[in-house]
Amino acid sequence: MRVLRTTLLGASLLLSGCAALHQQPNDIYELREKAQAAYVGEQDDKAERLLLGLAREAPNEPETWFTLGNLYARTNRPDQAVDAYQKALMLNSTDAKVWHNLGVVRIRQAWAAFIQSYALVKGDEALRAKVETLIEAMEKLPLEGLSRTPKKAAASATDAH
């Protein structure tokens, strides 16, 4: 009788473990859907919590790290964005979108460093001129936020009528 109970208990645990394995992909899929909806809906705090949970559950999914990088870039956390993009690239080094977004974040970091340098440089006109040249060159890049002068707001669709 004792052997039968042990066998039944073992079989029960084995079957419940199999059931848990079959539920996990659905749970991860649901978590991914919720995270994506929060990200698209610009519910940044919720999206971050969900994406971090998803990254814990499925750490080898490059799309999760890419989206997390985008979230960090969008919320002005460039160092965290770079880290997330680099994790995505460790998992898939051939994703052009990740390389592009990593480059954009790093350009923005360089921009901020040059602006800070320009504000601090005193008494070294050669360095000031070099930094000014770099800033002017970067302002020509087709990226938002790399201008020292505010741009006029685009005309809305109602203004055009």
Within 10 A of 137 (CB to CB), how many other CB atoms are there? 10
Mean pLDDT of the chain: 83
Mean of pLDDT values over 120-126:
94
SS3 93: coil
pTM of the predicted model, to two decimals?
A: 0.74
Nearest residue to 135 via CA among 154, 108, 159 = 108
CB contact at 8 A, 54 and 64: yes
Is residue 54 a contact partner of residue 32, using CB atoms and an 8 Å limit?
yes
For 65-100, the pLDDT digits (tens) are: 999 999 999 999 999 999 999 999 999 999 999 999
Q: Name the pLDDT band for 2 (thresholds 50, 70, 90).
A: low
pLDDT reading at 1 higher than 90: no
pLDDT in tens, 26-65: 788 999 999 999 999 999 999 999 999 999 999 999 999 9
